[in-house]
Structure 1
Amino acid sequence: MLNKLIEIVLEAGKLFEEGFNAVKEVHHKGTVDLVTQFDVAVENLLKERIADALPAFTIIGEESSDEHQRADRAIYIDPIDGTTNFIHKIPLCAISIGVWEDGVPVAGIVYNPVLNELFSAGRGEGAFCNGKKIVVSETADLQQSLLATGFPYTKVEMGRDFRWVLETMENLLPHTQDIRRLGAASIDLSYVANGIFDGFYECNLKPWDVAAGILLVEEAGGKVSNHRGEPYRLGDPVIVATNGRNHEALVEKLADYEEA
């Protein structure tokens, strides 16, 4: 399964890279949530190829599916994670494909054609970048940890998500080495798996944002939970992914989402 999906993703990557360098038609799904013709074209190509290769799975794509759709055997597709970066020609954007069965991730691929980084994982088989095995970092001290985060589109409403982001940043920033914001959750998770980041947290992500990256982190030896330290389930309001050594310390500094 994984090798076939990699073959499909590499094909879609050619269209992705063409779009990265092209003039784009930009449309608004929300106030600051953007989509281009290449998001749709890449997703359509992926859905067509994957449906032929794995007909027993339900394909759930960002540009064509209900975010609350669920299936026992599902493939979650984000054709261009980091669309804003893609539009502005910032080379931090990726195709993300996560395969889940009975609520458990079994295969994941995150591919950035621009930087030629292909992350892949199969359950029980380890995590890889361009075919080379990767592992999480060994940093145990939160103060020495380089973290990644993101800001949800709902920030424009200045409601609970906005307050949670600000309160968490205030609680956390003085107690870390620093915090980065790359603009693509799938890449953030891949970089945790690859030992570049020591941890990652964000609120209000969709299943296709994290479905692949979760397995990458776990197969690289890391840990993924919600903001209470419980096992993460697709749809939880907050995701926390770390090398496992600094996980509890990071969770303790997060604001209470329910009361934000």
Structure 2
Amino acid sequence: MNPAELLPVAVEATTVAAELVRTRFPGTLTAKGDRDMASEVDFAVERAVRDLLRERTPGIGLLGEEEGGPALDGELTWVLDPVDGTVNFVHGLPLCAVSLALVRRRRPVLGVVEMPFLGSRYQAVEGAGAYADGRRLRASAATTLAEAVVAVGDYAVGADADLLNRERLAVTAALVPRVQRIRMLGTAATDLAWVAGGRLDALVMLANNPWDTAAGVVLAREAGALVVDRYGAEHDTASNETLAGPRSLLDEIRALIRAVRADFTE
């Protein structure tokens, strides 16, 4: 099946999801671990999208953040983050997104990122370009970190957070004197969509899940950005980290990460 044929279905699903996010209060929060939670809206969105996609594409399973699903090594699988940026949503911050991707054998081939409170929809199909509200997207052409606005992923919570954050804080500290500005938005889907659109020059995220990144990876790639893990390998749904941006910036960023890791292993 050509993934482009399923783009209207994906847009329909994220439109339904975004309306739920816009019109409902977070409600009761369900703890998922140390300082991590899901809202009633997370569950409501995932169930609504799951029901719609089951009806429209009955032969394709769905992996959702809240209720799980099939492995991602099959022919086609939907991957959903119902509210990417739940903490922002719960606190009334408008930076959150619905992220829906179609994955073929661990490689995202279609992505839609809908930002309910910003009124923006980003969409891409592999080989067909990336668009936001009808406008073709082009990633940044920055060549030096000194001219780059670089987003960093959230710091860790939960088990081993202190240990994990030592490296993440050290990477941030290495970036700060070299980049134009650092930003932490709290929503990976928005980070990647804005890398695709050139609002952010690069993204450094040292941990992720497939629902965090799958849709955004398609957007960034189709807009001309490179998306790899910390070792420079092509990103897929099994990747543990996400680096996105122009190759020249990622070469510098990967060198900084290697230097930080070397300091920790001495």
- Counterpart CA distance in 1 for 2:118 and 2:90 is 16
Preserved CA contact (<8 Å) 1:110 1:186: yes
The equivalent residue for 1:235 is 238
The equivalent residue for 1:70 is 72
Displacement of 1:256 after TM fit?
3.0
Partner SS, residue 232 of structure 1: coil
Q: What pairs with 1:21-170 in structure 2 (closer than 5 Å)? A: 22=25, 24-65=27-68, 69-72=71-74, 73-154=76-157, 157-170=160-173
Preserved CA contact (<8 Å) 1:192 1:243: no
Partner amino acid, structure 2, of 1:108 = G
Partner SS, residue 154 of structure 1: coil
Indicate yes or no: 2:16 matched with 1:14: no
Q: What does the per-residue CA deviation read over 1:138-169, in whole Å, with 9 as the maximum and x for residues that have no partner? A: 11111211000122443663344212101111
Partner SS, residue 98 of structure 1: strand
Displacement of 1:127 after TM fit?
0.3
Partner SS, residue 177 of structure 2: helix
Preserved CA contact (<8 Å) 1:12 1:46: yes
Unaligned runs of 5+ in 2: 1-5
Partner amino acid, structure 1, of 2:112 = I
The equivalent residue for 2:249 is 246
TM-score for both structures, normalised by structure 1: 0.93
**Of 130-139 and 188-197, the range deviating more from structure 2:** 130-139
- Counterpart CA distance in 1 for 2:41 and 2:189 is 18
**Of 157-166 and 73-82, the range deviating more from structure 2:** 157-166
Preserved CA contact (<8 Å) 2:72 2:105: no
**Pair 1:82–1:258, CA change in 2 (3 A):** farther
Partner amino acid, structure 1, of 2:194 = Y
Preserved CA contact (<8 Å) 2:192 2:216: yes
**Pair 1:240–1:46, CA change in 2 (3 A):** same
The equivalent residue for 1:213 is 216
- Counterpart CA distance in 2 for 1:191 and 1:70 is 25
TM-score for both structures, normalised by structure 2: 0.91
Pairs aligned (count): 257
Preserved CA contact (<8 Å) 2:34 2:157: no
Cα RMSD, aligned residues only: 1.9
Partner amino acid, structure 1, of 2:72 = R
Unaligned runs of 5+ in 1: none
Preserved CA contact (<8 Å) 1:164 1:257: no
Partner amino acid, structure 1, of 2:247 = G
